[in-house]
Structure 1
Amino acid sequence: MDVTRFQSLISQLTEEIASVPLDSSLESHLNAQHGAGTYLYDQLFEACKVGVRDGWLCNREADGIRYGRVLKATEATHGFSVDVVEMEDIAGPHHVHPNGEIDLIMPLTAGASFDGHPAGWCVYEPGSAHRPTVAKGRALVLYLLPEGAIKFTAAAA
């Protein structure tokens, strides 16, 4: 696995969802079709573990969070950027999703959750905001951001 093969894998997914509204229906679809234990989920999880191990994913670190944007929003990814973070029992920086956010949650510790969600998918609608939080262990989280849009804000309580 390398960045080119990873992009090809991501592209299969982003082609499927490129024109779909980011809402609870998309979250339900992703969990039903590509949730934990499915072929695509397992392929993405393995690719992320290899990318972290080989240093082309999560190659930056700040405040106990490993992170990195591996793919910019381009035609090849149907307008989505791709970031991956590795977090353990920590809340990340507060931010707003101008165009929404799609998260793939991949627990590295059994039972780890992301914003209260177990292994699988979580979709945030355009204009939503949060302080991303991994609890009960360590997890990788893959973020798909339409047009790469994210706005970090002052810390929220």
Structure 2
Amino acid sequence: MDVTGFQELIAELTEKINGEPLDANLEARLNDEFGPGSPLYEAIFNACIKGTEEGWMCNREAAGIRYGRVLKASDATHGFSVDVVDMDNVIGPHHAHPNGEIDMIMPLTKDAAFDSRPAGWCVYGPGSAHHPTVTQGRALVLYLLPQGAIQFTPAGAN
């Protein structure tokens, strides 16, 4: 697996959700059709593990979180950027999602949860904000951001 192969996997997913509102219906659909155990979820999960091991994914670190933007928003990914983070029992920096955010949760520790959610998908609508939090172990989290839009909140402002 390399960045090109990873982009092809992501494009397979983003083609299926392109143009859909980022809401509870999309979250339910992602979990039903592409949840843990599905071929696409497992292929992306395995690619994230491999990319992290090889160092082309999660190649930066700050405050105990390994992270990195793997793909910029482009036509190839239907306007979504892709970031992947590696978090182990940590609260991340507060940020807002001007256009929403789709998260693929991949526990590396059996009971690890992202924002209190187990393995699967989580969708935040446009204008939402949070402190991304992993509890009960370690997880990889893939973020799909429409047009790559994310706004980090200045320290102490939230």
Fold-level similarity (TM above 0.5): yes
Offset, 1:18:
1.0
SS of the residue corresponding to residue 9 of structure 2 reads: helix
SS of the residue corresponding to residue 143 of structure 1 reads: strand
Please list every run of at least 4 consecutive aligned residues from structure 1 whose deviation after the TM superposition is greater than 2 angstroms.
154-157
Instruction: Give per-residue Cα distances to partners, 1:65-96, cap 9 Å, x unaligned.
Output: 00000000000000000000000000000000
Query: What's the C-alpha RMSD, in Å, of the aligned pairs?
Result: 0.8
Q: Distance in 2 between matches of 1:136 and 1:36?
A: 18
1:28-43 alignment, distance < 5 Å: 28-43=28-43
- Give the alignment's TM-score, normalised by structure 2: 0.98
Instruction: Give per-residue Cα distances to partners, 1:7-37, cap 9 Å, x unaligned.
Output: 0000000011111000000000000000011
1:144 counterpart residue number: 144
1:81 counterpart residue number: 81
Q: Distance in 2 between matches of 1:56 and 1:150?
A: 21
- AA aligned to 2:72 is K
Q: Distance in 1 between matches of 2:76 and 2:6?
A: 11
Q: Distance in 2 between matches of 1:118 and 1:30?
A: 14
1:19 counterpart residue number: 19
- 1:71 partnered with 2:83: no
Offset, 1:127:
0.1
Unaligned runs of 5+ in 1: none
- AA aligned to 2:75 is E
- Give the alignment's TM-score, normalised by structure 1: 0.98
- Aligned identity (percent) is 68
SS of the residue corresponding to residue 52 of structure 1 reads: helix
- AA aligned to 2:42 is D
1:105 counterpart residue number: 105
Q: Distance in 2 between matches of 1:102 and 1:42?
A: 17
Instruction: Give per-residue Cα distances to partners, 1:99-123, cap 9 Å, x unaligned.
Output: 0000000000001000001000000
- 1:5 partnered with 2:5: yes
Q: Distance in 2 between matches of 1:77 and 1:56?
A: 18
How many aligned positions are there?
157
Offset, 1:154:
2.8
